[in-house]
Amino acid sequence: MKYIDEFNNPVLAKNILRKIRKNSSRRMNIMEVCGTHTMAIFRHGLREMLPESINFLSGPGCPVCVTSQKDIDRMIALAGMKDVIVATFGDMLKVPGTLTSLEKERAGGADIRVVYGPAESLAIARENPGKKVVFIGIGFETTSPLIAACVLDAFKSKMKNYFVLTSHKLVVPAMQALMESEDVKIDGFLCPGHVSITIGADAYKPIPEKYGVPCVVSGFEPLDILQSIYMIINQIRSSESKVETQYKRVVCDKGNKVSQELLSRVFEEAGAEWRGLGNIPGSGLKLKKKYDSFNAEKQFNLKIGESRENPACSCGEILKGIKKPSDCRLFGKACTPENPYGPCMVSTEGTCAAYYKYGK
């Protein structure tokens, strides 16, 4: 099968591994920003194949995981309102809020529906004209253009019962915030393939230019990731810092102009609260004033109490690469996928979920 079998070739993998072992004489901290990369690295056993000098740090690349406790509490508050239908991706259901979760609220009678794409929430609104339908908008530049398209559709159709609660995040500002942090040392970034389709490889240029850290945009198959690691190692060995694209079969330098235009029409950049990273200026998206009638934050009186994370949960430190899940005293004991204490154990892209499912 083209572009699948070729990137799972064990002979080629062994050749790249030999080159990596030969050229990685010193310890290197390589952060994979994307949660899908985290899962792929574990699923294919790449951590065990690579030399001990390569230390993977799992970054804030899981959109569910980085959603702040306050935002989760606002989502739950919406679910408790009369004549409201909440449409959400399935990963959000089990994420613990301060007092409860969407899953528990649904069990108590709240109308919360799992959708596989934003367009489904539009269909629900059209099928239920007597209800107010709120789509929980989370995700990076991968999903936000789809949500922008839905808002434009609702605007064109003059819909009165469709709303979006936005909690969108932008990847590059978070990477810059990590580089400004004194808590973590990063020698190279494995940049997300899906996000890069939209924003383009050039979007990462501020990282090597300002911080001197190599960036390689990687695909998700075993050979993609191994080749990307080798490219990072070569940059470090030659004292280079630049953006390279391994995932050239999908990602171009300038990105997807259509998606970028959708984002610029509907959203504007804003500060955003990240779990573990705090408030990062210019790292989020909010609806432009023209679309205020679809802005759930402005159209609903969302009253929540003080938002608090579970003090025993280490999700925030795990998202920064300071801790590994095994460093958390709850991991695999009190905290499991069936009984999660934090979002990193809930999401299919969460680092704790990857460690739990594939770790030794």
| Three-point CA angle 293, 136, 155, nearest 5° | 30
State the helix-helix crossing angle for 222-237 and 10-23, rounded to 10 degrees: 20
Predicted pLDDT at 360? 60
pLDDT, tens digit (0-9, with 9 covering 90-100), for 277-291: 999 999 999 999 999
**pLDDT of residue 1 exceeding 50:** no
Predicted pLDDT at 198? 97
Predicted pLDDT at 305? 86
**Which has the closest alpha carbon to 201: 256, 253, 141, 259?**
253
Predicted pLDDT at 359? 77
Sketch the domain layout of the chain as residue ranges.
1-314, 315-358
Q: CA 4 to CA 37: how far, in whole Å?
A: 16
pLDDT, tens digit (0-9, with 9 covering 90-100), for 279-338: 999 999 999 999 999 999 999 988 888 999 999 999 999 999 899 999 999 999 999 999
**pLDDT of residue 4 exceeding 80:** no
Q: Hey, which CATH number is domain 1-314, 3.30.930.10, 3.40.50.11740, 3.40.50.2000, 2.40.50.140?
A: 3.40.50.11740
